[in-house]
Amino acid sequence: MYILAPSILSADFTRLGEEIAACEAAGADWIHVDVMDGHFVPNLTMGPFIVEACRRATRLPLDVHLMVERPERLIEAFARAGASRLTVHVEACADLNATLQAIAALGCQPGVTLNPATPIDRLAAAIPLVDLVLVMTVHPGYSGQAFMAETLPKVRQARQMLDAAPSSAWLEVDGGISAVNIRQVREAGATAFVAASAVFNHPEGAAAGVRALRAALEGKTPPAAN
């Protein structure tokens, strides 16, 4: 099973409920919410109030990606707002393991992530504590950036790390995922796929964007020509 998680960062916020409903009807699995604080990343986006609005708009799990300094200060507010999963950056936590344990104690699924420049071994000690490892495939901050193919070896390393643990945690990728590259990223070992622009900027709308990604992810590969 593969998870498709549309990121609402590229949704039309004047119609957020409809956009989320379209994703859900088209078969999205989770809704990804990108929280940015203007410090850990230059951009500033949404807080618990938007998570609470998403919680009222859908029954899908809310996959909340915290691109914030010292996320331990905010996890309770996001848990109360209805987050299902809370993913924190190794670069942003003073005490990563304590933060992951606090997320679990609040009733959310803990996840850990790292920037493209951060080596994968920075999260090795956290593997037993997480339900999700997110490998960033762009520098976090904005939607609509090009997929960084040089992150594919890191996806493979994360796959090996999870299999060796062993851990059944999701291996999520985020950034520049499209119908063109999603299959290649799956083959590197990813099991959960975030996409903002490929869903919400699809010319036929978000539902068509979800369906196109699903077809590219799971569709039968054409038979090899003889």
Where in the sequence numbering do the catalytic residues fall? 34, 174
Q: Which two tokens stand for residue 41?
A: 């990343």
Helix, strand or coil, per DSSP, at residue 181: coil
Q: Which residues bind Zn ion (CB under 5 A)?
A: 34, 65, 174
Q: What are the residues binding ligand DX5 (CB under 6 A)?
A: 7, 9-10, 32, 34, 65, 138, 140-145, 174-177, 194-198
Taking the least distance from each CB to ligand DX5, the nearer of 24 and 172 is 172
Sign of the Cα pseudo-torsion (185, 186, 188, 193, in order)? positive
Q: Which is nearer to ligand DX5, 32 or 202 (CB)?
A: 32
Q: In the complex, what is the shortest distance from the CB of residue 225 to ligand DX5, in angstroms, rounded to a whole number?
A: 32
Distance from C-alpha of 106 to C-alpha of 104, rounded to nearest angstrom: 5
Q: Give, to the nearest 10 degrees, the angle between helix 16-25 and helix 48-57.
A: 50
Choose between 7 and 99: whose C-beta lies nearer to Zn ion: 7
Residue 197 partner contact from Zn ion, ligand DX5, none using kind-dependent CB cut-offs of 5 to 8 Å: ligand DX5
Q: How far is the CB of 218 from ligand DX5 (least distance, A)?
A: 18
Contact of 210 with 182, CB cutoff 8 Å: no
